[in-house]
Amino acid sequence: MIDFKREIAKILSQRIEELTKDEIIEMIEIPPNSQMGDFAFPCFKLAKIFRKAPNMIAQEIAEDIKENDLFEKVENVAAYVNFFIDKVTFAKSVIGEVLTKKDTFGSSNIGEGKKVIVEFSSPNIAKPFHIGHIRSTVIGNSIYKLYDFLGYDTITINHLGDYGTQFGKLIVAYKNWGDEKEVEENPIPTLLKLYIRFHEEAEKNPELEDEGRMWFKKLEDGDEEAKRLWQWFREVSLKEFNRVYNMLNISFDSYAGESFYSDKMPRVLKMMEEKNMLKKSKGADIVDLEEYGMPPALIRKSDGSTLYITRDITAAIYRKEHYDFYKNIYVVASQQNLHFQQWFKVVELMGYEWAKDCIHVPFGLVSLEEGTMSTRKGRVVFLEDVLKKAVEKTKEIIGEKNANLENIDETAKQVGIGAVVFQELSNNRIKDYTFSWDRTLNFDGETGPYVQYTHARACSVLRKAQVTIDENVDYGLLSNEDAMDLVRLIQMFPATVEEAARKYEPSIVTRYIVDVAQAFNRFYHNSPIIVEDKELQKARLALVYAAKQTIKNGLGLLGIAAPERM
Ligand code: ARG
């Protein structure tokens, strides 16, 4: 694809020697509407260099360039030089690129040779995988896909919460009131019940707390029984988590959770001691962070046991040594902001310059709309139930609209789950929001089903036309405004992917594909595609193909399927 910005920069840099090509590229804007051109170059900053009014400069540049194959018009309006790209060259360049690259349209190799770790999801063993976890899971998965698409060498890690004193408590609860069969059959709700019971009983009998601590100590010391039970809790929990990951089509390169670092912490504690970083405080070891405006980081309790933060520090050092990452990304709720700031600082104070390459990508809270959610047991909402319900509801809706659809079950799965994921990725990640079924399953608004339906509609047009789309197209026939708007949008896909990755913000892609779907539907309504004139039909079909492919690639980056019929 011709990089028009770069071409413009090349032309301009011949006339403005005082600025580098990259500086010029930075300054080039995309005007809010196409009457003002496809690209615009503001001249305000040049006033100082040329000692002239910006309007004058713009006028001179515009007049000077005028003659050029790439542009049908270059003109100035006030202090802007507006570039109107030659429509044929533009359409040919953009659509041609999609036709050759297909599934890789929008990808690049800017990340070649750079390793990026994306840690996401990371639920806690024996605890429900609830609606709150969906955010980390789908945002993280999309960030991974974005970096992968840009050619980075990616590693996905599920930092399972599988260690800590709560497992001592759970062992005690199971030994007292547990039933093996019940745990096997319905692991997480049963383990959760045992955990709740432990706390109820411990109110009456505080000795249980000591017992819990003792069993965790046993686990840390490698006691056989403690290890066997813990291992079993972990296994049955993972089996349940994996059901959800399978529904979402997500897998991880590593499931090294907190327990993985248990034997790696002593070395890290020793390093901190040697660097004189630890201070005693009521028998515990802390790193004082007052100087940096933060409360102290508690690294080791007075009984010698380690903490969540100790494991995070150890994990980061392990990851650097094991993977030698370029970036180490953590997709974790904003409630943990302080936690991450604290331990990033501790790693920095240990002298690791790569502390700056550890990145916390926070996201806001999800709350549930009053009365929307039925729950299986108690107050917790299980993610699996949310996904299942979305699929059921979708099946009903599809059944009403298109009862003869083959594969209705598979499609309902793709659309129902896609709807939940799309909704999750619609807003800026940092924003808190309320989950609503109506919004999620509306097929008409700016939703997943709407975008998927647009894609399926494009597929259907291409199927019916029964012609092979190749690059042998008379692009001059695509000159109407709707067509050009769509081409302009498609052209922005590669830059959109880069921006979304750079900002760790999948919603940029979500909003972009809604724009593409809307532009496609405008074009489709106003320009009949199956027409007498075979050349015109072919040109329009090529554009339909390019839009379809762009939507499909965009959905893929969000972790959403693009069914061809629905
Ligand atoms: N297990 C934690 C939770 O559910 C999230 C872990 C986040 N990752 C990390 N490296 N601390 O809250």
Of 494, 422, 479, give the one whose Cα is nearest residue 454: 422
Cβ 465 vs Cβ 541: under 8 Å: yes
Output the pLDDT for position 372.
Answer: 52
Q: Which residue pairs from 271-276 have beta carbons closer than 8 angstroms and sit at least 24 positions apart in sequence?
A: 271/350, 272/299, 272/350, 275/349, 275/350, 275/351
The more confident residue out of 402 and 299 is 299
How many A from CA of 336 to the centre of ligand 1?
A: 8
Output the pLDDT for position 380.
Answer: 63
Mean pLDDT of the chain: 93
Output the pLDDT for position 374.
Answer: 41
Q: For the domain 385-558, what is the CATH code?
A: 1.10.730.10
The more confident residue out of 469 and 437 is 469
The yes-or-no verdict on residue 370 having pLDDT over 80 is no
Rounding to the nearest 10 degrees, give the CA dihedral for residues 124, 128, 131, 133. Answer: 10
Question: Mutation test of ligand 1: which of 129, 135, 159 has the most ligand atoms closer than 8 Å to its C-beta?
Answer: 159
Whole-model pTM over 0.80: yes
**529 sits in which H/E element:** none
CA-to-CA distance for 350 and 240, rounded, in angstroms?
38
The yes-or-no verdict on residue 547 having pLDDT over 60 is yes
Of 95, 73, 78, give the one whose Cα is nearest residue 42: 78
Output the pLDDT for position 386.
Answer: 84
The answer to whether 127 is a known catalytic residue is yes
Q: Where in the chain is the domain with CATH 1.10.730.10?
A: 385-558
Angle at 467 between CA 466 and CA 472, to 5 degrees: 170
Q: Where in the chain is the domain with CATH 3.30.1360.70?
A: 4-85
pLDDT tens per residue, range 517-538: 999 999 999 999 999 999 999 9
CA-to-CA distance for 311 and 333, rounded, in angstroms?
18
Look up the ipTM and state it.
0.99
187-219 b/e (C-beta count within 10 Å ≥ 16 → b)? bbbbbbbbbeebeeebeeeeebbebbbebbbbb
Output the pLDDT for position 467.
Answer: 87
Ligand 1 closest atom vs CA 315:
10
The more confident residue out of 1 and 563 is 563
How many A from CA of 258 to the centre of ligand 1?
A: 9
89 lines ligand 1 (CB under 6 A): no
pLDDT tens per residue, range 137-164: 999 999 999 999 999 999 999 999 999 8
The yes-or-no verdict on residue 402 having pLDDT over 90 is no
The more confident residue out of 442 and 322 is 322
The more confident residue out of 338 and 443 is 338
Which of 52, 127, 388, 393 is catalytic? The answer is: 127
Percent of the chain residues past pLDDT 90, beyond the cut: 81
Output the pLDDT for position 487.
Answer: 96
The yes-or-no verdict on residue 376 having pLDDT over 50 is no
Output the pLDDT for position 373.
Answer: 47
Cβ 151 vs Cβ 107: under 8 Å: yes
Output the pLDDT for position 378.
Answer: 47
258 lines ligand 1 (CB under 6 A): no
Question: What's the fold here for domain 4-85?
Answer: Gyrase A; domain 2 (3.30.1360)
Mean of pLDDT values over 44-65: 93
CA-to-CA distance for 62 and 352, rounded, in angstroms?
52
The yes-or-no verdict on residue 377 having pLDDT over 50 is no
The yes-or-no verdict on residue 198 having pLDDT over 80 is yes
Mean of pLDDT values over 496-516: 98
